[in-house]
């Protein structure tokens, strides 16, 4: 048996930029062990598995080492592939049942807009592993149900950060988001980087789920309803965000780089 599998670069309109994700279409649910083996073989920050289920698709996300509760860039990639391959018509909404509930995506011109849960960070005491692992004194330290969240003093600090991933991997969280206000030169409102060594990803190129925390945080700080974020990894990527109550609208672009068949 074989399954259609794709790789798409998400939160970018350029190949080999943004965040690559594998998207695999299954006929029915498969054993978790096999899904994890496929994700390890793909060796990307996320592999998305889709199973048709009436008006929605079952969607699960795996890093090379673990299943995760929420992933933005692989959801964006999955929606992009659904429309590009004709599995959904351009005017149809993509609906996904996930470990974080129902997530939806729709085409908005050249962008894809996703409806995600807000993951607002609450102030928290920064553990020593976080402070030493980042090597900075935060302007703000907090966390949500998934990640620690740190505001740094400048965009330059965020861009030049060299974390100790061994220390960060000890934290009792999925990972760490580091952010600052943008310096005004790039056309975006804030910058960020995201680190997940505990799940096998030292630095994630562009993290949609991190923007579920970044959006409400910076909307309040900057008093803006719509913002643009730049994730300052080596690949880089743009995420447009619009908080709305307990939800966040994330918008990005995607481009397909590979089509293939996965043999079982």
pLDDT digits (tens, 9 = 90+) for 60-116: 999 999 999 999 999 999 999 999 999 999 999 999 999 999 999 999 999 999 999
**Are 236 and 130 in the same domain?**
yes
Domain ranges, residue 105? 2-116+252-263
The 10s digit of each residue's pLDDT in 107-161 is: 999 999 999 999 999 999 999 999 999 999 999 999 999 999 999 999 999 999 9
What does the buried/exposed string (b/e) look like for 17-34 if buried means 16 or more CB atoms within 10 Å of the residue's CB? Answer: bbbbbbbbbbeeebeeee
Task: Say whether both 61 and 103 belong to one domain.
Answer: yes
Could you count the other beta carbons within 10 Å of the beta carbon of residue 44? Answer: 21
Among 14, 32, 33, 46, the active-site one is: 46
62 and 46 Cβ atoms separated by less than 8 Å = yes
Q: On the CB side of 43, how many CA atoms lie within 13 Å of its CA?
A: 1
Are 214 and 146 part of one and the same domain? yes
The end-to-end CA distance of the chain, in Å, is 6
Per-residue confidence (pLDDT) for residue 134, from 0 to 100 = 98
CA-derived radius of gyration, the chain = 18
Q: Answer yes or no: do 189 and 152 share one domain.
A: yes
Whole-number Å distance between alpha carbons of 146 and 137: 21
- % of the chain exceeding 70 in pLDDT: 100
Same domain? For 139 and 96 the reply is no
Please state whether the predicted TM-score (pTM) of the whole model is above 0.85. Answer: yes
Whether residue 9 sits in one domain with residue 81 = yes
- Rounded to the nearest 10°, the torsion over CA 181, 137, 11, 172 is -140
Name which of 190, 180, 179 is nearest 238 in CA terms.
Answer: 190
Same domain, 239 and 196: yes
DSSP per residue, 174-213: SEEEEEEE--SSSS-SEEEEEEEGGGTEEEESS-TTTHHH
Whether residue 145 is found in the same domain as residue 207: yes
* Cβ pair 59, 50 in contact under 8 A: yes
Domain count, the chain: 2
CATH number at residue 127: 3.10.310.10
Question: How far is residue 32's CA from residue 191's CA, in Å, rounded to a whole number?
Answer: 35
pLDDT for 264 equals: 82
Q: Is position 46 annotated as part of the catalytic site?
A: yes
Residue 185 confidence (pLDDT): 86
Q: Are residues 106 and 144 in the same domain?
A: no
């Amino acid at each position: 048996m074989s399954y259609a599998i794709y790789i798409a670069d998400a939160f970018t309109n350029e190949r080999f930029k943004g965040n690559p994700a594998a998207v695999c279409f299954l006929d029915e649910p498969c054993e978790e062990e096999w899904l994890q083996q496929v994700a390890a073989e793909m060796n990307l920050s996320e592999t998305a598995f889709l199973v048709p289920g009436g008006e929605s698709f079952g969607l699960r996300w795996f890093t090379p080492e673990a299943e995760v509760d929420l992933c933005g860039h692989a959801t964006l990639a999955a929606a992009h592939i659904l429309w590009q391959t004709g599995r959904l018509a351009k005017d149809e909404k993509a609906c996904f049942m996930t470990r974080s509930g129902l997530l939806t995506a729709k085409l908005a011109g050249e962008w894809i807009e996703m409806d995600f849960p807000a993951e607002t960070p609450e102030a928290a005491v920064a553990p020593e592993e976080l402070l030493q692992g980042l090597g900075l004194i935060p302007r703000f330290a907090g966390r949500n149900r998934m990640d620690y969240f740190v505001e740094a003093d400048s965009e330059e600090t965020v861009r030049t950060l060299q974390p100790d991933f061994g220390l960060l991997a000890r934290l009792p969280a999925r990972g760490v988001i580091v952010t600052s206000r943008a310096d005004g030169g790039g056309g975006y409102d804030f910058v960020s980087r995201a680190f997940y060594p505990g799940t096998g990803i030292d630095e994630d190129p562009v993290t949609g789920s991190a923007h579920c925390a970044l959006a409400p945080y910076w909307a309040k700080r900057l008093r803006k309803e719509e913002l643009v974020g730049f994730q300052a990894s080596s690949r880089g990527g743009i995420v447009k965000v619009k908080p709305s109550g307990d939800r966040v609208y994330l918008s990005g672009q995607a481009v397909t780089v590979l089509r293939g068949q996965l043999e079982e």
